[in-house]
Amino acid sequence: MTIDFSNTEFVQFYMHDFVNGILEETPAELLKGIPTTPAATHLFDIDDNAEKLDSQQAITFHHLVAKLLYLCKRARPDLQLAVAFLTTRVQGPDVDDWKKLGQCLTYLRETKDEKLTLGADDLGVIKWWIDASFAVHKDYKSHTGATMSLGRGHPISMSSKQKINTRSSTEAKLVGVNDAMSLVLWVRMFLLEQGFEVKDNVIFQDNQSTILLARNGRQSSGKKTRHIEIRYYFITDSDNISRGTCSVQYCPTEQMIADFFTKPLQGSLFRRMRDKILGKHHIGVTDSQECVGAGASMPTTNDDVDTEDDVDVTHALMVEGKGFFRVDEEKESAQQVKEKEISQTRQCQSYSDVVKSKSFPQRSCQHF
């Protein structure tokens, strides 16, 4: 690995010799075409009837995937999603996996001169983007993606298959936050030990219900999320938020950089995200426009309440008497309860900006 300190504003990492070594070991049959991404849209698709590789090809597959894993964790995070999937296939690779490996390697050949550029605006401001793609694997497990920036480039990222099956995208994203929490806390503690004052350690999420569950833990659990294990409320139940160790804010899906590590993006969206992650473009951790506050995640009163998870969380709060309305499930019909849930959700959504500023006189929406 080469580390270039020649510029006083940023540092660059590259492994050109290692990349050339991988390409020299790659069978010529794998290096076909000129792909613009390391993975096609069907990356997670598996054909149970596909022909298995012979023993020599399987060894080559395993060897090359291991080298790509070493590379993507150090200087080429743009390969990480493709490699994360390929590592799940080393036990019994088939011809489809061989082709997917070929696309990743051919993309590497076409981009072998890429560098990872890192810079910091403020070592007291850490930004994380954490997301998950629901049930994308053959066994219906979801896939977690997380990445961190201090201003330019992303020095830490992860892309991994979740270890459990989840029942909804909200639950998958909450598990994703839990998967990344050790990194979130470690980076903060590392910077504190170096003598820096960490003013902000922000986790960006693009799912409203996940934000509610992350902030409030079990008190926001309803009938569809009550079964979630206690360890997945680590972010809340260990007081990480209340103590200021980290915070959770909303980020629009189109700005969710962690998507790069959960799904095979294509075209201009892939290039835009890749350039941010590799540090070609400066993000600016102190720029509030990069991802807006949680209040902007909520629809207006005229919008439909389009996720059952939001209403489910609202219902749990109302049962505890923490909303505009209380619910007595023994005395009220299901229709009456549903109408109250939707009304409560809409009102809290419309007041969300005011609630966030703590100036709203009622405590009805505090948990939003």
pTM above 0.85, yes or no: no
pLDDT tens, 225-270? 444 444 544 555 545 665 668 888 888 888 999 999 999 999 999 9
Enumerate the domain spans of the chain. 2-110, 118-292, 298-356
Q: What is the DSSP letter of 301?
A: T
212, 250 in Cβ contact below 8 A?
Answer: no
CB burial of 68-107 (b: ≥16 within 10 Å; e: otherwise) equals: bbebbbebbbbbbbbbbbbbbbbeebbeebbebbbbbbbb
pLDDT tens, 52-91? 999 999 999 999 999 999 999 999 999 999 999 999 999 9
Query: β-strands 125-133, 200-205: how paired?
Result: parallel
CATH of domain 118-292: 3.30.420
pLDDT of residue 305: 35
| Rounded (5°) CA angle 30-36-41 | 85
Rounded CA-CA distance 368/137 in Å is 32
198: alpha, beta or left, given left = phi > 0 and alpha = psi -120 to 50?
beta
13, 75 in Cβ contact below 8 A?
Answer: yes
Question: Is the pLDDT score of 310 beyond 70?
Answer: no
Rounded CA-CA distance 16/188 in Å is 31
Q: Which helix (DSSP H) or strand (DSSP E) does residue 346 occupy?
A: helix 334-350
